[in-house]
Structure 1
Amino acid sequence: MDCKLRAKNCGGCPLLGLDYAAQLKQKEEKVRALVGKYGPVHPIRGMEQPYHYRNKVISTFATGWGGKLTSGIYAANSHKVLPVESCLLQDEVLDKTMQAVRAAANACRYQPYDEDKGTGLVRHCLLRRGVATGQVMVVLVTAQPVLPGAKNFVKALLAEAAQRGVTVTTVVQNVNSRKTSVVLGEAEKVLYGKGFILDTLCGKTYAISPRSFYQINHAQTEVLYGLAVEAAKLTGKEVVLDAYCGIGTIGLTAADHAKQVVGVELNRDAVQDAIGNARHNGVKNARFFAADATFWIREAAAAGEKADVIFMDPPREGSTPEFLASVARMAPKRVVYVSCNPVTLARDLATLTKLGYKAEGFTPVDMFPHTEHIETVVLLSKGEVDSKKIRVEFSLEDMDMSEFQDGAPYTQIKDYVLEHSGLKVSNLYISQIKRKCGIEVGKNYNLPKSEDSRQPQCPPEKEKAIREAFKYFGMI
């Protein structure tokens, strides 16, 4: 299947011209080449219908033909908006919803935001759909807090959507007045509905807000998490640690089969969602904590805490040597690693192998057809551990949590700034802004070697980007 957007330099589907079976073979071979020496690679799990799987869409507004408002995505390697009417990857209901948003915005004569001039009103539109429930969320991102004719916009949107066979569940205005490439701002106002939608995944119901992290491919996420929980071989007696837990989806999926689940996630908003999701689903044996996974597990391991099973689902850059060493100190019988990057998976496996863990098998999952991305689930196991040495509860009250109160490590701050602003920042600049914000920095960390030494000072645009990262990670 071909797409008109490819000829216009979309760049979103680099493998679209390749037969889907060939795509799957290519991805499976990539995983095998990188990690096959550690254990068997099972056949990749692909989709029956590898189109229209994205349940989340972000569209950027721009001026179109005749001065009318249009919207779409940035063309590859540019800041030029490529108008999009429909997309082979996007949920078709969301395509229709976006058409309704544009029609309503044009009826209200809203002007697109010009990032160079700093003029205009509407910046982006974020759409989400609960695949199992059919609920639809519209988030209109504006450059100003006042949305003229907000009630008229909502009325027009609902009518335009209904004409296209779409029922909109909730409409939210998000205000982002900063000069930034980050889509969402801090302030939000619910214009219609409850401000969130519900979806069901692996038997659990999740409330999804504009900021919630939620996997974009519902069908393949159920495959991925099903494989992960199956690999854990839970009997109902295990203490489970869910590291990098996001909104708690893996941990809550596993909770029915475990004695206790402890989730750790750096993003505080995601942790609040996880706590709410546990409460909504009546899960009483799961607790969630906002902390950097490496610092948290290091502290737990140093305190002598143990876990029977550890799920780890790190970001694309993979885990850290310190995290992996702490995993070994906690001595779980099984580690289930859910990877979104086989390159960093291979790197981390080299460390885990040296620490005495053996990969039982790998199952690649095609979460993002027609792109080069690939997820992989691997079970690692260790020899029998003396059960007398394993505590069955996390005594968190006795742990010193102060060490990770200051939020994200420097590497994650750098990654966030680069991803959201395109700027590269140094440890020096981060420490300078930490001091400005009153965040504790090591006594002598990045200080001048002498009083006469001159250090480069963080430029204003990089300071702004670093502060945005601090806000995202709940540090300020």
Structure 2
Amino acid sequence: MSDCKLRAKNCGGCPLLGLDYAAQLKQKESAVRALLGKYGPVHPIRGMDVPYRYRNKVISTFAPAAGGKLTSGIYAARTHKVLPVESCLLEDEVLDKVLLAVRAAANRCRYQPYNEDRGTGLLRHCLLRRAVATGQVMVVLVTAQPVLPGAKNFVRYLLEEAETRGVPVTTVVQNYNPRQTSVVLGEAEKVLYGKGFILDTLCGKTYALSPRSFYQVNPVQTAVLYGLAVDAARLTGKETVLDAYCGIGTIGLTASGKAKQVVGVELNRDAVRDAIGNAKHNGVKNARFFAADATAWIQEAAEAGQRADVIFMDPPREGSTPRFLESVARMAPKRVVYVSCNPETMARDLALLTQKGYRAEGFVPVDLFPQTAHCEVVGALSRL
């Protein structure tokens, strides 16, 4: 199972695929140790039993195929040339089949792929999500024009093609993206079938996922990651918890049952709306969510004398900001739990936090993206 014919064609999706999985884990663990070991002990990396087929989200770009038909796939590394993909070792097998159904339905409708250079054609991308716990599947068709001609026929064909392949389609959404951009989704959306969202369960809570919701792509390892983060917080039920960069509220809601109250802060308004809905949906009464830049929000809160006993921070790849970390120090929580998707920016941020009176108790790397170079880390810090 450890090789794929797309690698020879310059697919950049799995740079570590040729490397034995135990060796991949060792490489990632030692990279984390080299970056973070001076701050505290780095514990053994948590790998997967089956390090394939873990992605619950797929983005596929449409391209022309022989005979006026269309196909779809992934950009070859460092190019804008689409490599057609029939099957991918990282993608959920159900989504592989759903994607073939989407292509078949699009070809039955005679839809044309969008041409970036000429600005012609209709279909740009297809985004698929599968909720592993419930089996629900979302199809998002990204179009370059506001109207999808024969949309009802497309839905009918898609459901037929999916049934032929023995896979479900729960909801279909058209997303309109007219801009010259490599960003996949545009702002405007229209639900063509179903409710426009799917439900998934993670760490005992249920989440509604809409097309733009940020949600980790590896459900098995996300449960490991969030479990480690909540354990690292050592909650007793008396704490006020701040969940910074909270997304749709996953870490804060996972922690809510063990905390007195949870406050989540997130810049993306769609995500905050989802987080509020997710709290309601799960009957969580002790969580509040704010749409704001985490740095600006925590700075104002710290200046106003607001306190948090524990801060969870899960910043984007570029890490946190000095202003954010200074405000954390002003709030003086007993514990900070740092979840990082980029150990290099985490090391930079730790240099500042340790100057401000925090000590790292230890780090656990988690392999969320087998066959790729990425590694997540959970770090626990306590105030001296």
- Place the TM-score, normalised by the shorter chain, in its bin: over 0.9
| 1:116 paired residue number | 117
> Following the alignment from structure 2 to structure 1, what is the Cα–Cα distance between the partners of residues 324 and 148?
46
How far did 1:67 drift?
A: 2.2
How far did 1:308 drift?
A: 0.5
Q: Per-residue CA shift, 1:81-121, capped at 9, x if unaligned?
A: 10000100011100000000000000110111111111111
Q: Per-residue CA shift, 1:168-222, capped at 9, x if unaligned?
A: 0001111112222221111111111000000000100000000100000000000
What is the one-letter code of the residue matched to 1:162? E
> Following the alignment from structure 1 to structure 2, what is the Cα–Cα distance between the partners of residues 178 and 360?
46
Following superposition of structure 1 onto structure 2, how do residues 406-421 of structure 1 map, counting pairs within 5 Å? Answer: none
CA RMSD of aligned residues (A): 0.7
Q: Secondary structure of the residue that 1:230 maps to in structure 2? A: helix
Structure-2-length-normalised TM-score? 0.99
Q: Per-residue CA shift, 1:346-381, capped at 9, x if unaligned?
A: 111111111111111100000000111000001000
Is 2:218 the partner of 1:185? no
> Following the alignment from structure 1 to structure 2, what is the Cα–Cα distance between the partners of residues 276 and 364?
31
| 2:258 paired residue number | 257
> Following the alignment from structure 1 to structure 2, what is the Cα–Cα distance between the partners of residues 30 and 207?
35
How far did 1:235 drift?
A: 0.7
| 2:293 paired residue number | 292
> Following the alignment from structure 2 to structure 1, what is the Cα–Cα distance between the partners of residues 147 and 241?
46
Instruction: List runs of 5+ in structure 2 lacking aligned partners.
Output: none
Structure-1-length-normalised TM-score? 0.80
Following superposition of structure 1 onto structure 2, how do residues 20-419 of structure 1 map, counting pairs within 5 Å? Answer: 20-383=21-384
What is the one-letter code of the residue matched to 2:208? A
> Following the alignment from structure 1 to structure 2, what is the Cα–Cα distance between the partners of residues 180 and 156?
30
| 1:442 paired residue number | none
Q: Per-residue CA shift, 1:277-329, capped at 9, x if unaligned?
A: 11111111000001111111111111111110000001111111111111111
> Following the alignment from structure 1 to structure 2, what is the Cα–Cα distance between the partners of residues 286 and 311?
14
Aligned residues between the structures? 383
> Following the alignment from structure 1 to structure 2, what is the Cα–Cα distance between the partners of residues 149 and 10?
34
> Following the alignment from structure 1 to structure 2, what is the Cα–Cα distance between the partners of residues 209 and 229?
25
Structure with the larger RCO, 1 or 2 (CA within 8 Å, 6+ apart): 2
Which stretch of structure 1 is more off in the superposition, 59-68 or 246-255? 59-68
> Following the alignment from structure 1 to structure 2, what is the Cα–Cα distance between the partners of residues 22 and 291?
41
> Following the alignment from structure 2 to structure 1, what is the Cα–Cα distance between the partners of residues 182 and 316?
21
Q: Which has the higher strand share?
A: 2
What is the one-letter code of the residue matched to 1:376? V
| 2:19 paired residue number | 18
Following superposition of structure 1 onto structure 2, how do residues 462-473 of structure 1 map, counting pairs within 5 Å? Answer: none
What is the one-letter code of the residue matched to 2:235? L
Identity %: 83
Structure having the higher Rg:
1
How far did 1:64 drift?
A: 0.9
Which stretch of structure 1 is more off in the superposition, 308-317 or 173-182? 173-182
Q: Secondary structure of the residue that 1:4 maps to in structure 2? A: coil
Q: Secondary structure of the residue that 1:300 maps to in structure 2? A: helix
Q: Secondary structure of the residue that 1:37 maps to in structure 2? A: coil
> Following the alignment from structure 2 to structure 1, what is the Cα–Cα distance between the partners of residues 339 and 183?
27
Q: Secondary structure of the residue that 1:205 maps to in structure 2? A: strand
Q: Secondary structure of the residue that 2:16 maps to in structure 1? A: coil
> Following the alignment from structure 2 to structure 1, what is the Cα–Cα distance between the partners of residues 16 and 222?
21
How far did 1:146 drift?
A: 1.6
Q: Per-residue CA shift, 1:427-448, capped at 9, x if unaligned?
A: xxxxxxxxxxxxxxxxxxxxxx
Q: Secondary structure of the residue that 2:60 maps to in structure 1? A: strand
| 2:8 paired residue number | 7
What is the one-letter code of the residue matched to 2:225? L
> Following the alignment from structure 1 to structure 2, what is the Cα–Cα distance between the partners of residues 100 and 310?
44
Following superposition of structure 1 onto structure 2, how do residues 409-448 of structure 1 map, counting pairs within 5 Å? Answer: none
Q: Secondary structure of the residue that 2:237 maps to in structure 1? A: coil
Q: Secondary structure of the residue that 2:145 maps to in structure 1? A: coil
